[in-house]
Amino acid sequence: MHPALSVIFFTVTAGTGYGVLFLLGLIRILGMVPEMSPDQIVTMGLVGLVLITVGLLSSTLHLSNPKNAWRSFTRFKTSWLSREAVFAVTFYPICLLWMACEWFTGHTAASIVFGVLTAGLAITVLVCTSMIYASLKTIRQWHTPMTPVNFVLLGILLGSLFLSLMLAQQSLLTSHLLSLSLVLLVLSALAKIVYFYWIGQPAGPTINTALGFTRATVRLLDVGHSSDTFHNKEFAYQVDRVKLIWLRHISIGLAFLLPLALIRGPLDSVGFFNLTLAFISAYAGVFVERWLFFAEARHVVNLYHGMQRT
């Protein structure tokens, strides 16, 4: 599939924002950072909302006719895209009500309720975004439970690093959140390695199974249009195999290994500079990972354009 930079930026940046607000709600509910004041919670919450908003706005750049974006809200029962849109819009008033409760009343029962709803909706939107791709049976590399697992883990991972960065800037970072970031780095790396291994296995439909001929090798004499058509541009995106392997290694190194090396150790040895480098590295690594997510996807329509296997 053709990697659209606006969609990649949306999923990575908005995912970071949802991760920030999920963890901010979680640590507030559990009292992991009791020293946080209401204005600090609101400030960090607004930063998370800005990341989400910038990401959502960038996603509209991929639309050929942005004024029809409202139609994405009309198929909630059957479309994961519609569910994502509805829950993403619902998220805003719930999150703002939570921050308003924190600002005006402090840590009360109302703020706890809205904090729980905010954290739950953040994960819900991440799942809906991932299921837009995981629900597509025509693309084997996406139609797997590993897709939502990776989307959710990577969103929370980036959120934990960015939230740690903001807390460190205010001298509020605790060992609990830093330990959580380390655990997320390990889990996310393992999940991504398993995914890379799985999509590399010879499985899925072939031109033989697509045509129903299973006793001989099928070779298409006419592979269809090779000019600049929509199918060729969107579904037949090809990248050199060696380049893909190198980019996989780069994404693993930037997203997981370098941040792990930067923040590993006692809390007093992890400063603001280290956390800044760790977040920048992880963001860049996940950006490459998301580019690979699209570039390595093979739609079954390619079988009718000369590809032997998807």
pLDDT at 89: 94
Q: Which of 24-33, 87-96, 198-207, 259-268 has the highest mean pLDDT?
A: 87-96
In a domain, 310, yes or no: no
225 token code pair: 């249009």
| Cα angle 39, 120, 154; round to 5 | 90
| 61 has a pLDDT exceeding 90 | no
pLDDT at 279: 96
pLDDT at 52: 97
Please count the other Cβ atoms lying within 10 Å of the Cβ belonging to residue 174. 16
205 or 306, higher pLDDT: 205
| 234 has a pLDDT exceeding 90 | no
Are 132 and 152 spatial neighbours (Cβ–Cβ below 8 Å)?
no
Residue type, 49: L
pLDDT at 262: 92
The closest of 188, 185, 281, 291 to 248, measured between CA atoms, is 291
125 or 33, higher pLDDT: 125
In a domain, 56, yes or no: yes
Average confidence (pLDDT) over 135-154: 92
Q: Which residues pair with 305 in a beta bridge?
A: none
| 185 has a pLDDT exceeding 70 | yes
Number of H helices, E strands in the chain: 11, 0
Of the pLDDT bands very low, low, confident and very high (cuts 50, 70, 90), residue 159 is: very high
pLDDT at 174: 85
| 69 has a pLDDT exceeding 90 | no
241 or 133, higher pLDDT: 133
Q: Judge residue 95's burial from the number of C-beta atoms within 10 Å of its C-beta, 0-12 exposed, 13-18 middle, 19 or more buried.
A: buried
165 or 34, higher pLDDT: 165
| 114 has a pLDDT exceeding 90 | yes
Average confidence (pLDDT) over 170-192: 92
Average confidence (pLDDT) over 260-284: 89
Cα–Cα separations (whole angstroms), residue 261 to 163, 256, 264:
18, 9, 5
Helix (H, G, I), strand (E, B) or coil at 145: coil
Q: Which residues pair with 309 in a beta bridge?
A: 206
| Cα gap 166→284, rounded to integer Å | 19
- pTM for this predicted structure: 0.89
The closest of 301, 305, 308, 297 to 147, measured between CA atoms, is 297
Of the pLDDT bands very low, low, confident and very high (cuts 50, 70, 90), residue 224 is: low
pLDDT at 47: 97
Q: Which of 29-43, 210-224, 246-260, 267-281 has the highest mean pLDDT?
A: 246-260
Are 137 and 143 spatial neighbours (Cβ–Cβ below 8 Å)?
yes
In a domain, 154, yes or no: yes
Tracing tokens 């996603």 back to the chain, one arrives at 59
| CATH number where 255 lies | 1.20.1630.10
* Beta strands, E only, 233-303: none
| 68 has a pLDDT exceeding 70 | no
Q: What percent of the chain has pLDDT over 70?
A: 83
Which domain covers residue 139, as residue numbers? 5-305
Helix (H, G, I), strand (E, B) or coil at 299: strand
Are 207 and 307 spatial neighbours (Cβ–Cβ below 8 Å)?
yes
Half-sphere exposure of 250 (CA within 13 A, CB side): 14
Domains: count for the chain: 1
